[in-house]
Copies of this chain bind each other. A is one copy, B any other.
Amino acid sequence: MSQKKHTPPDIPPMKDLTIENITDNVHSINSKCSDGRLKFLLERLVNHLHDFARETRLSIAEWETAIKFLVDVGDISSDVRHEFVLLSDVLGLSLLVDAIDHPKLKNSTEGTVLGPFHTTDAHTVSNGHQISNDPDGEPLLAICTIKDTNGDPIPDVAVDVWETDSKGFYDVQYAGRTTPDGRAIVRSDQDGIIYFNAIVPVPYPIPNDGPVGKLLERLNRHCYRPSHMHFMFKKEGYDRLITALYLRGDPYETSDAVFGVKESLIIDLAKVGDVDGLAEKYGVSPETRLLRYDFVLITEQESQGAREEDAWKEARRQNCNLKVVNGMLIPE
């Protein structure tokens, strides 16, 4: 027999596991982890997972359903179908984590969910570019400023913009996609301004032919997102901002399937013709809809400071020997 020789491992012994002591036994076997943050995350995860099962008296049949659900979510996932992200979105977790990690400061722009349709292959274009080539879309001119919390313009910010076509589908949802459409990276000019031509956003269903769609159905939830346009702002020294702008009056404004809407991100569209000289200046029809918004970014330093402060607040709230290291909570 070619069995390897086994020596008893040096970990706290356990045995005779019960509903009551299983949690402490899992903590005990995880206690040799040398990464304090990972150990803390696992400890809290196991606490909540076990409390969930105990509180609900989860049955084996339900556990099997949950396992099958996760397998199904994995099965449909691919490079262009992020079903686990979608699951996190419809449970409100994505919005929550963004809010925790990107504290809002003073007059800064709020963040919101990234969603499952961002790609990394968008082309970088100049101001004035046409980012959507859907002839059925209602033309829109977007003119935005990007400033810091002191009101000074920030030049050279890479602004990732993405939206659906007029039918409510992102380019990646079409099988024959060869090149990005409805998305681009625009760089702000010396005055912190970006402008581009796009189409008026429309409401659309999140992908509902998979397990997450089936879950929403079982919950009697609709799967629509209100009309919106995504924005992501990146510049060294500034906190990366992922956000979106929503159109006021959308039928799904107060019931977004992925919990992305915030009051400060809801906008009214004007018409280019409402502002004297704008149609000529930007070379578009006066009937073109006009999106204006002033984005305010915070610096990494401001963001880090606010995170530290919030983390210490949470440590004090829990009152159980937590400390903050690099903005992260860990046990002392």
Residues of A within 8 A of B (CB): 1-3, 6-9, 11, 13-19, 22-23, 25-26, 29-30, 32-35, 38-42, 44-46, 48-60, 62-63, 67, 70-71, 73-75, 77, 82, 84-85, 88, 91-102, 136-138, 166-168, 202-203, 218-222, 224, 250-255, 259, 261-264, 307, 310-311, 314, 318, 327-329
Minimum Cβ distance to chain B for residue A248 (Å): 11
Inter-chain contact A55/B44, CB cutoff 8 Å = yes
Question: Contacts of A166 on B, CB cut-off 8 Å?
Answer: 1, 3
Question: Contacts of A1 on B, CB cut-off 8 Å?
Answer: 136-138, 166
Inter-chain contact B18/A252, CB cutoff 8 Å = no
**Could you tell me the distance between the alpha carbons of A232 and B301 in the complex, rounded to whole angstroms?**
59
Question: Contacts of A101 on B, CB cut-off 8 Å?
Answer: 57-60
Minimum Cβ distance to chain B for residue A283 (Å): 24
**Could you tell me the distance between the alpha carbons of A73 and B74 in the complex, rounded to whole angstroms?**
8
Are A167 and B219 also in contact (CB < 8 A) when A55-B314, A67-B88, A99-B22 are? no
Minimum Cβ distance to chain B for residue A33 (Å): 5
Can you list 18 A-B pairs, Cβ within 8 angstroms, ordered by A? A3-B166, A15-B261, A16-B264, A17-B99, A19-B99, A22-B92, A22-B96, A22-B259, A35-B218, A48-B48, A48-B49, A50-B93, A59-B101, A59-B327, A60-B97, A60-B101, A73-B74, A74-B84
Copies of this protein in the complex: 2
Minimum Cβ distance to chain B for residue A160 (Å): 16
Minimum Cβ distance to chain B for residue A224 (Å): 7
Are A259 and B25 also in contact (CB < 8 A) when A71-B84, A75-B74 are? yes
Minimum Cβ distance to chain B for residue A83 (Å): 9
Inter-chain contact A219/B92, CB cutoff 8 Å = no
Inter-chain contact A56/B42, CB cutoff 8 Å = no
Question: Contacts of A60 on B, CB cut-off 8 Å?
Answer: 97-98, 101-102
Question: Contacts of A50 on B, CB cut-off 8 Å?
Answer: 92-93, 96
In addition to A6-B203, A22-B96, A22-B99, 14 A-B residue pairs with Cβ atoms within 8 Å of each other are A3-B168, A8-B254, A9-B222, A17-B259, A30-B221, A35-B218, A39-B219, A44-B56, A48-B52, A53-B100, A58-B101, A59-B101, A60-B98, A75-B77
**Could you tell me the distance between the alpha carbons of A222 and B305 in the complex, rounded to whole angstroms?**
39
**Could you tell me the distance between the alpha carbons of A100 and B101 in the complex, rounded to whole angstroms?**
36
Quick one: closest B residue to A266, CB to CB? B15
Inter-chain contact B9/A255, CB cutoff 8 Å = yes
Inter-chain contact A13/B99, CB cutoff 8 Å = no
Inter-chain contact B329/A15, CB cutoff 8 Å = no
Inter-chain contact A13/B254, CB cutoff 8 Å = yes
**Could you tell me the distance between the alpha carbons of A177 and B186 in the complex, rounded to whole angstroms?**
56
Minimum Cβ distance to chain B for residue A223 (Å): 11
Set B38, B88, B310: member contacting A219, Cβ < 8 A: B38
Question: Contacts of A35 on B, CB cut-off 8 Å?
Answer: 218
